[in-house]
Amino acid sequence: MSSRLLSGRYELLEKIGDGGMAVVYKGKDRLLNRFIAIKILRPEFTKDATFVENFKRESQAAAGLTHPNIVGVYDVGREGNINYIVMELIEGRTLNKIIEDEAPMDYKRVIDISKQVASALRIAHKNKIIHRDVKPHNIMITNDGIVKLADFGIARAVNDATLSTGSKIVGSVHYFSPEQARGNYVDERSDIYSLGIVMYEMLTGKVPFDGENPVTVALKHINEEIRPPSELVDGIPPALERCVMKATNKYQTNRYSSADELIEELDNISFVTDVAGTSIFAASDVIEKRNKRRAEIEAAAEEDEEKQKEKKRRKRKRIAIITAIVLLLALALGWYVAFRMGVFSPTKPAPDFIDKTFEQAKELAEKEGFELKQGKDVYSNTIAEGRIATQEPDVGIETAKEGTITVHVSKGSKEGMVPNVVGLDKEDAQKRLEEYGYIVGNIIVDTQPEDEGTVLEQKPVAGSPLDKESKVELTISDGKGVEKGTVPSVTGLSLKEAKSAISRAGFAVGRVDYDWSNSVSKGYVMYQQYQANSLLDKGTSIDIQVSKGKEPEPEPVVPDEPDEPEQPAETGEAESGDTGEAGDTQG
């Protein structure tokens, strides 16, 4: 770090950010002569081998994501004990800062930002990548208003390793889905839940759940219902509130099934609120005129009966006209919404042309009833030269029948950029490398649980500059490794629930101890042997400790009373009784 140069290539210029997991520097790539952002992991994370390995793999996978709403990852590297990632440099502010300064935010801006984040998630989910840590701190807004979602690799690595290293990370728990809080299976709908919480915070300026510690907040996500945002802030359209409440439903099956579905819903809300706003203003003007005229009629109550009857007839006529106008406006609104939703013009989802040749795509387009137009040639690190890299409209978007779909053909990666082959089997990896002009070099076999032949690591990593016809070293799995499982989070659960969660995850329940606790209720788990979300060999026993409740206070110590002095006998009977008692004792 003293030389301010990493890997002989990346020059550190100035620190521009300081977060819970990493320090961010503005830098310059001397090889490509461009400004970049360099994120250096904090030392406490580099000590965790599991975290570093997961971070490396997930960042390499994220490097293959190319989308206007995703912060580009250029390189992942290590120099000495420094682990770093090289990213696109963004000029702007985090959404977290914008919320601090401007919330509650205008609902139209909330819709716009949410659609852009959902567009980023749509691309990630189609590439089988779940972000797992969508929050305002990971969302950048450029000076031009473009939304950029960041930290795909770090988010996944943190969830797979630990969330308890340092107090700066636990803030993410405010955006956790209930299944993440339980340590259960997560999918695309878990990211949608987190985005719903972000939408809630943009609209109200507050997160729905807060508490003194992360466990308290996590339990609220699991057990408590979210308070509707309209109870905190006025003026939120009911349709948008329903959208937020559906996205944050505690059950995955009740949320939006995909980012596409959420984007479509937000589009419909935009149409309805725009048109409805116009109609309401027009109707309110008519109603105001009607009320004013009614006041004039009441003020003329002293006029003679004939004039009053004539005015009443005019009043009824005006009401009939107003009613007709309101009905016409309602019909126009319904027609407009139906037209925008495609009721009067037949539509169908745009076919998937990605990774096809133009000829193959044209044949498919004719079969599906669309016209195909060739756009511009673009660079791609994931799609081979001569095949379609992107399309407009995107795959699955409702498009008018016989409409035009524009496709952009890949001209391959930029000269000397290594493609990503991690996760492919050996044969597919070899084909991918050959398509980009490279040769498979040394192959290292490692004992891991992944399927035999799966590529675990590549050298150089994806995106690295390398002359064509150079060799790329691969590390592949022999499929003989012990299967790993993810340790569930059982702290805060009852003993029965904890045992069930441990068994479902493929582990055995080990020793169960009991101890007093002033913070955890009786019968609930307050300690588990292995950290939640860490990787562990399946079948391993996990010890847990259960609360016995609050420790009872000790009873006060009462001092012994002093012996009473002997009293002289007052009667003969007393003396006789004392003698007899003494005699019984001796006998």
Instruction: State pLDDT tens for residues 187-232.
Output: 899 999 999 999 999 999 999 998 888 888 888 898 889 999 999 9
Please tell me the predicted confidence (pLDDT) of residue 158: 47
Provide, rounded to the nearest whole percent, the portion of the chain with pLDDT above 70.
Answer: 79
Please tell me the predicted confidence (pLDDT) of residue 580: 40
Please tell me the predicted confidence (pLDDT) of residue 568: 52
406 vs 402, higher pLDDT: 406
Cβ neighbours for 361, distance < 8 A, ≥ 6 positions apart? 353, 372, 388, 407
Euclidean distance between CA atoms 509 and 491, whole angstroms: 14
Q: Are 207 and 216 in contact (CB under 8 A)?
A: no
For residue 238, say if its preceding peptide bond is cis, omega within 30 degrees of 0.
no
Q: Is the pLDDT of residue 408 over 90?
A: yes
Give residue-wise pLDDT tens across range 69-121: 988 888 888 887 788 888 889 888 999 999 999 989 999 999 999 999 999 99
Please tell me the predicted confidence (pLDDT) of residue 192: 95
513 vs 279, higher pLDDT: 513
Give residue-wise pLDDT tens across range 363-380: 999 988 899 999 988 877
Please tell me the predicted confidence (pLDDT) of residue 529: 92
Query: Sorting pLDDT into bands at 50, 70 and 90, what band is 302?
Result: low
| Residues in a beta bridge with 368 | none
Please tell me the predicted confidence (pLDDT) of residue 343: 52
Task: Scan for tokens 């995955």, then name that residue.
Answer: 252
Residue type, 287: I
Cβ neighbours for 245, distance < 8 A, ≥ 6 positions apart? 226, 228
Which residues are the active-site residues?
A: 133
Give residue-wise pLDDT tens across range 507-516: 999 999 999 9
Cβ neighbours for 266, distance < 8 A, ≥ 6 positions apart? 111, 114, 115, 118, 243
How many residues appear in the chain? 587
Where does 5-87 sit in CATH, by number? 3.30.200.20
Asked if 347-410 and 426-477 have one fold, the answer is: yes
- Average pLDDT on 413-427 reads 82
3-state secondary structure of 7: coil
246 conformational bin, left if phi > 0, alpha if psi -120 to 50, beta if neither = alpha
The class (CATH top level) of 484-547 is alpha beta
Residue type, 205: G
Where does 347-410 sit in CATH, by number? 3.30.10.20
Q: Which CATH number fits domain 426-477: 3.40.50.2020, 3.30.10.20, 3.40.50.620, 3.30.750.24?
A: 3.30.10.20
Euclidean distance between CA atoms 340 and 344, whole angstroms: 9
Where does 92-256 sit in CATH, by number? 1.10.510.10
Q: Which of 289, 314, 286 is nearest to 300 (CA)?
A: 314
* Domain extent listing, the chain: 5-87, 92-256, 266-340, 347-410, 426-477, 484-547
3-state secondary structure of 276: helix
Q: Are 396 and 260 in contact (CB under 8 A)?
A: yes
Span of 19-33, 426-440, 482-496 with lowest mean pLDDT: 19-33
Query: Sorting pLDDT into bands at 50, 70 and 90, what band is 285?
Result: very low
Euclidean distance between CA atoms 88 and 63, whole angstroms: 11
- Average pLDDT on 29-43 reads 87
Query: Sorting pLDDT into bands at 50, 70 and 90, what band is 315?
Result: confident
Q: Which of 41-50, 118-127, 310-319 has the highest mean pLDDT?
A: 118-127
Q: Are 538 and 484 in contact (CB under 8 A)?
A: yes
Please tell me the predicted confidence (pLDDT) of residue 417: 76
Euclidean distance between CA atoms 463 and 466, whole angstroms: 9
Please tell me the predicted confidence (pLDDT) of residue 147: 93
Please tell me the predicted confidence (pLDDT) of residue 578: 43
Q: Is the pLDDT of residue 310 over 80?
A: no
Q: What is the pTM of this model?
A: 0.47
- Average pLDDT on 480-506 reads 90
580 vs 122, higher pLDDT: 122
Please enumerate, as own/partner, the contacts of 251-258 that have beta carbons within 8 Å and a separation of 24 or more.
252/177, 252/179, 252/187, 252/189, 252/190, 252/193, 255/189, 255/192, 255/193, 255/196, 256/189, 256/192, 257/188, 257/189, 258/122, 258/125, 258/188
Q: How many other CB atoms are there within 10 angstroms of residue 317's CB atom? A: 10
Q: Which of 143, 147, 177 is nearest to 159 (CA)?
A: 177
